[in-house]
C-alpha cells in the first residue's frame, strides 16, 4: 500500500508511465489465473 500512496502523490506523467509499466504484468497474471478461476467456478456450480 505504501507504493500506491507514494505513486498517488506523483505528477500525472509519472502516474501514466507507471500504469504503462505495470499493466502488462498484471494482465499476464490475470490471464494465467483465468483457467483456474473458471475451473473453481465450474466445480462450485456442479456442487450445488
Query: How many structural domains compose the chain?
Result: 1
| Domain region containing 9 | 2-47
pTM above 0.75, yes or no: no
pLDDT tens sequence across 3-43: 666 766 767 777 778 788 888 888 888 888 888 888 999 99
Q: How far is CA 12 from the centre of its chain?
A: 21
Does position 48 have pLDDT exceeding 70, yes or no?
no
Residue written as cell 505528477? 11
Backbone angles phi, psi at 37, to 5 degrees: -65, -40
Planar angle of CA 36, 42, 43, nearest 5 degrees: 90
**Burial class of residue 29 in the structure, from the number of CB atoms within 10 Å of its CB (0-12 exposed, 13-18 middle, 19+ buried):** exposed
Amino acid at each position: 500500500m505504501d507504493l500506491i500512496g507514494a505513486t498517488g502523490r506523483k505528477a500525472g506523467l509519472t502516474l501514466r508511465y507507471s500504469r504503462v509499466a505495470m499493466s502488462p504484468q498484471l494482465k499476464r497474471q490475470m490471464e494465467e489465473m483465468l483457467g483456474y478461476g473458471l475451473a473453481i467456478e465450474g466445480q462450485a456450480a456442479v456442487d450445488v
